[in-house]
Structure 1
Amino acid sequence: MLELSLQKAFPGFRLALELSAKEGEVLALLGPSGSGKSTLLKLIAGLLTPDRGFVRFQGQDLTPLPPERRGVGFLFQDYALFPHLTVAENIAFGLVEARWSRKEQEARVRELLERMELSPHAGKRPQELSGGEQQRVALARALAPRPRLLLLDEPLGALDLRLREELLFFLRKTLRGEGITTLVVTHDQGEAFLLAHRVAILNKGRLVQVGPPEEVYARPQDAWTARFLGHKNLLSPEESQALGLPPRPHLLPQAALRLGGDQEGVVEERLFFGSRVGLWVRLRGVRVYLEALDPLPHLEEGARVPLGLDPSQAVPLEG
């Protein structure tokens, strides 16, 4: 198990949190820029020294150890591949440093070239590869020495949208197949939810919420978390009361609203996304959002629409 209790202060910023990850678990650190995600990874890797606290892994206190003795693999956002080395030599770099035998090096590099679908590129230099291929080389290099712990800092952040989608599932399969305890930093909730067994949400150096992706998304702790996760129907106490709920902040999830029912709303805005349509509707004086898969060409702005509202689905939020 990875156990963290860390404090680190910079001018205008202070990180202070406690967090743990189980053996073989993929834990995503999700939060906006400046929330402390990358700082936390650097503290775990030994690239920064905490002001107070500890990093423990498998019962061993890593805090006093230098980076090279922690058994931690680190994949940076820019990959940091060595341009003068071939793909195979880049992957083998950590094995050479760890003084693996030549036979062990060759076997491990061959294994990773096949697993990462890089065998045809073994003799190429990084600059001859696409962005996605470079990402796979960097991941293979991080995995090569069989690290006890793997840290990934925005591993897909430098890729365009098409490559990110293509490699996201490849990365998920690789991480789970290796079974290495992994912390993944990302600002993208879709990546975090797909990659991780659990998600930890950070804001301003503090741990806001941690849990399985489905649980965190469905039941955010407060209004800031709900908004960060992309929820739209965040109700003030007054809006909650207007919809028949107790006068406190609530999240009204999509499951609480449906087309067809005994209440009437007025469409204020219609958003066409291709496979689905989003509707902003005024209901009892409250502006709410719902989506439907049907193109619904007849529901234009200003149209009256019957709605069903299930208040029991509403999620109470902290202030």
Structure 2
Amino acid sequence: MLELSLEKSFPGFRLTLELTAQEGEVLSLLGPSGSGKSTLLRLIAGLLTPDRGFVRFGGLDLTPLPPERRGVGFLFQDYALFPHLTVAENIAFGLVEARWPKAEREARVQELLERMELLPHARKRPQELSGGEQQRVALARALAPRPRLLLLDEPLGALDLRLREELLFFLRRTLRGEGVTTLVVTHDQGEAFLLAHRVAVLRQGRLVQVGRPEEVYTQPKDAWTARFLGHKNLLSPAESQALGLPPRPHLLPQAALRLGGGLEGRVEERLFFGNRVGFWVRLEGVRLYLEALEPLPDLQEGAKVSLSLDPSQAVALEG
């Protein structure tokens, strides 16, 4: 088990956090820029020293150990590949430093070249590779020494949208196949939910909420978390009361609002996404969002629309 209890202060920022991760678990650290995600990884890796607290893994206190003795794999956002080394040499670098026997080293490199689908590129230099191929080399290098703990800092952040989507599932399969305890930093909720067994949401150096992806998404703790996770129908106490709910903040999930029913609203904005259509509608003086898979050409901006609302699905939020 990974056990964290850490404090670290910089001018204008303070990280204060307690968190655990189980052996073999993939835990996503999700939060906006400046929330402390990368700082936390650097504290775990030993690249920063905490003001107070500890990093424990498998019952061993890593806090006093230098980075090279922690047995932690670290994948930086920019990959930090060695340009003068081939793909195979980059992957083998940590094994050479750890003085693995030559036969074991070559077998491990071969295994990772095959797993990462890099065999045709083994003799190439990093600058000859695409962004996605470089990402796979960096991941292979981080995994090569068989670290018990792996830290990934925005591993897909430097890639374009098409490559991110393609490699997201590759990374998911790889992490589960290796079975290594992993902390993944990301600001993208889709990446966090797909990669992780659990998600930890950070804000301004503090842990806001932690749980399974489904739990965190459907039951956000407060309005800030709900908004950060992409929810749109966040109701103030007055808006909640106008829709027949208790006068406190609520999240109204998409499933609670549907087209068709006995309520009458008006379409204020129509958004065509290709595979779906979004509508901002005004109902009882409250602006709400819903989506449909059909084009629904009759529902243009300004049109009246019949709606059904299920208040029982509303999620009460902390103020």
Q: Does 1:110 align with 2:83?
A: no
Deviation at 1:273, TM superposition (A): 0.4
The alpha carbon displacement at 1:276 in A equals: 0.5
- 1:285 and 1:261 map into 2 onto residues whose CA distance is 18
**Size of the alignment, in residue pairs?**
319
Aligned-pair CA distance for 1:37: 0.1
What TM-score do the two structures reach when normalised by structure 2?
1.00
Name the residue aligned to 2:245: 245
- Once the two structures are TM-superposed, the CA of residue 21 in structure 1 deviates from its matched residue by 0.3
Q: Does 1:84 align with 2:92?
A: no
Which whole-Å deviations, capped at 9, do the CAs of 1:42-78 have from their partners, x for residues lacking one?
A: 0000000000000000000000000000000000000
Amino acid at match of 1:121: H
Unaligned runs of 5+ in 1: none
* Equivalences for residues 105-184 of structure 1 within 5 A: 105-184=105-184
TM-score w.r.t. length of structure 1? 1.00
Alpha-carbon distance in 2 for matches of 1:126, 1:269:
47
> What is the distance in 2 between the residues matched to 1:163 and 1:263?
44
Pair 1:7 & 2:7 matched? yes
Q: Cα RMSD (Å) of the superposition? A: 0.4
Deviation at 1:179, TM superposition (A): 0.3
Q: CA deviation at 1:204?
A: 0.2
How far off is 1:133 after superposition?
A: 0.3
Shift of residue 7, structure 1, vs aligned partner: 0.2
Deviations 1:164-207 (A, max 9, x none): 11100000000000000000000000000000000000000000
AA of the residue aligned to 2:115: R
Give the whole-Å Cα distance in 2 for the aligned partners of 1:5 and 1:158: 30
Note the 1:153-302 alignment, pairs <5 A. 153-302=153-302
2:23 is paired with a residue whose SS is coil
Q: Distance in 2 between matches of 1:250 and 1:232?
A: 11
Distance of 1:2 and 1:262 partners within structure 2: 53
Q: Residue 261 of structure 1: CA displacement?
A: 0.8
2:261 is paired with a residue whose SS is strand
Residue of structure 1 in register with 2:72 after alignment: 72
Specify the alignment match of 1:303 in structure 2.
303
SS of residue matched to 2:270: strand
SS in 2 for 1:84: coil
Q: Which residue of 2 aligns with 1:93?
A: 93
Following the alignment from structure 1 to structure 2, what is the Cα–Cα distance between the partners of residues 60 and 260?
59
Aligned to 1:85, the other structure's residue is in SS state coil
SS at match of 2:209: strand
Find the aligned partners of 1:292 and 1:119 in 2 and give their Cα distance. 45
Aligned equivalents of 1:279 and 1:132: distance in 2? 36
Q: 2:53 corresponds to which letter in structure 1?
A: G
How far residue 148 of structure 1 moved from its aligned partner, in angstroms, is: 0.7
Q: State the shift of 1:93 in Å.
A: 0.2
Counterpart-to-counterpart distance in 2, 1:159 and 1:66: 31
The CA distance in 2 between the partners of 1:92 and 1:24, in whole Å, is 24
Structure 1 distance, partners of 2:106, 2:188, is 36
Identify the residue that residue 59 of structure 1 maps to in structure 2. Answer: 59
Task: Deviation per CA, 1:119-151: give whole Å up to 9, x if none.
Answer: 010000000000000000000000000001000
SS in 2 for 1:280: strand
Measured in 2, the distance between the counterparts of 1:86 and 1:285 equals 63
2:90 partner letter = N
**Mapped partners of 2:292, 2:277: distance in 1:** 5
Q: Distance in 2 between matches of 1:142 and 1:219?
A: 35
1:216 maps to a residue whose letter is: V
Letter in 1 for 2:82: F
Paired residue secondary structure (2:108): helix
CA distance in 1, matches of 2:187, 2:111: 31
Q: For 1:295 and 1:18, how far apart are their aligned partners in 2?
A: 47
**How far did 1:6 drift?**
0.2
Percent identity (aligned): 87
Distance in 2 (alpha carbons) for counterparts of 1:225 and 1:111 = 41
